[in-house]
Amino acid sequence: MEVAKRLQGVGEYYFSSKLREIDELNKQGKNIINLGIGSPDLPPHPDVVKVLHEEALKPNVHGYQNYKGSPILRKAFADWYQKWYNVSLNPDSEILPLIGSKEGIMHICMTYLNEGDVALVPNPGYPTYRSNVTIAGGVCMDYNLKEENSYQPDFDTIEKNDLSRVKLFFVNYPQMPTGQQPDIGVFEKLIAFAKKHNILVVHDNPYSFILNDQPMSLLSIRGAKDVAIELNSLSKSHNMAGWRMGLLCGTAERINEVLRFKSNMDSGMFLPLQLAAAKALTLGQGWHDEVNSIYKKRREKVFELLDLLNCNYSTNQVGLFVWARIPDTYKDCYAIADEVLYNSNVFITPGGIFGSAGEKYIRISICGSIQRFEEAIQRIKSSRA
């Protein structure tokens, strides 16, 4: 049986295959320290878990749910956006809860892309943008993000391309993998560019609370709703990655268009999960300060590890990762990543998996205990002694 043509050129997700290799190494007794994946290891707030437990005990919460999510959750998302981003959203028409924001990327591609349509994707950028565009039958047009340009789009260079078939423009700030913070001026240029060329901007915004003092939504820019939609998630901000709780927000027209696809893909989310997520969205500044105080200490250890590897990096990055340029003595990012994995039993992510512009970089996650980072540092020191 042959697989569908839509999967041609789409490989297995890098971390899916790499984790199998790490499992095999662990079976050999290597005890690999995985510093590659941004899966928060800290738990959600106890009150969130309590709501899940209490609601799950009720006998009438186990059936199919509203395709647009619980009204309670949608109201909580609207209040959250108003409080933190100063963005007004109608909870009845401008919010669509998702089973994680990654799901939303596929929904958007399947909703708007016909075969041969083009999507602008960042290089380096989240690999799921590229794979989902391809699966939907679209064509990816890279726009390069360069360190010397603070990893911001070069609109003049992009405009030199034929944009007649471009329908989507994926952006992501705070940017993953580079940690670049959002910028009002860049957001304003982005909205103006989208209006000029009749392009729908998709802003993927899951990292805005991690080591970032000023969470920002693209929808806070005047006129943004006319040409943009935004994805967000509780995975990183509230340590709920495995809960799969996210949202898509934008005008009612956009929400209803995406719902036409999504409603044929799933049957809603477990209601106690939605109610627990609504509780998480009420947490205040103290919660984020507590989480970020832990991440700050961990990031210092990542800097120490990168110094051992003679990498260059900015200390102003935000988000769950640190992005660093490798020494010129290495051919590429895969060479240094393999050296660290096989010689020190520490896994770090080669930047090339995020696009060709990442081939001289590596990425390290700050998800892990201080002791874990100290052990990784000692292993690297020992292997280089």
Tens-digit pLDDT profile for residues 302-327? 999 999 999 999 999 999 999 999 99
Mean pLDDT confidence for 296-303: 97
Q: What is the pLDDT of residue 37?
A: 83
Kindly report the average pLDDT of the chain as a whole number.
Answer: 94
Q: What is the pLDDT of residue 12?
A: 66
Mean pLDDT confidence for 20-32: 88
The topology (CATH level 3) of 5-43+285-384 is Aspartate Aminotransferase, domain 1 (3.90.1150)
**Residues 205-224: pLDDT tens digits?**
999 999 999 999 999 999 99
Closest CA to 129 of 161, 198, 182, 177: 177
Which pTM does this prediction carry?
0.94
Q: Give the Å distances, CA to CA, from 311 to 213, 308, 325, 330, 369.
A: 26, 8, 5, 11, 22
Query: CB–CB of 144/125 below 8 Å?
Result: no
352 pLDDT higher than 70: yes
Lowest mean pLDDT among 8-17, 70-79, 232-241: 8-17
Lowest mean pLDDT among 14-28, 184-198, 323-337: 14-28
10 pLDDT higher than 80: no
Percentage, residues of the chain above pLDDT 90:
88
Query: CB–CB of 232/246 below 8 Å?
Result: yes
Mean pLDDT confidence for 337-363: 95
Q: Kindly write down the DSSP assignment for every residue of 86-127, as one continuous string.
A: -----TTTSEEEESSHHHHHHHHHHHHPPTT-EEEEEES--H
> Tokens for 141?
């047009």
9 pLDDT higher than 80: no
**Residues 231-285: pLDDT tens digits?**
999 999 999 999 999 999 999 999 999 999 999 988 889 999 999 999 999 999 9
Q: What is the pLDDT of residue 38?
A: 84
What is the band of 2 on the pLDDT scale with cuts at 50, 70, 90? confident
Task: Specify the DSSP class assigned to residue 180.
Answer: P
What is the band of 106 on the pLDDT scale with cuts at 50, 70, 90? very high
In CATH terms, are 5-43+285-384 and 62-280 the same topology?
Answer: no
Q: How far apart are CA 134 and CA 261, in angstroms?
A: 17
3 pLDDT higher than 90: no
The domain locations on the chain are 5-43+285-384, 62-280
End-to-end Cα spacing for the chain = 52
What is the band of 15 on the pLDDT scale with cuts at 50, 70, 90? low
328 pLDDT higher than 90: yes
**Which residues, listed in sequence order, are joined to residue 166 by a DSSP beta bridge?**
118
Q: Which CATH architecture has domain 62-280?
A: 3-Layer(aba) Sandwich (3.40)
Q: What is the pLDDT of residue 245?
A: 96
376 pLDDT higher than 90: yes
Q: What is the pLDDT of residue 168?
A: 98
Q: What is the pLDDT of residue 6?
A: 80
355 pLDDT higher than 90: yes
Q: What is the pLDDT of residue 279?
A: 98
Q: What is the pLDDT of residue 314?
A: 95
Fill in the amino acid letter for 353: I
13 pLDDT higher than 70: no
Mean pLDDT confidence for 184-188: 97
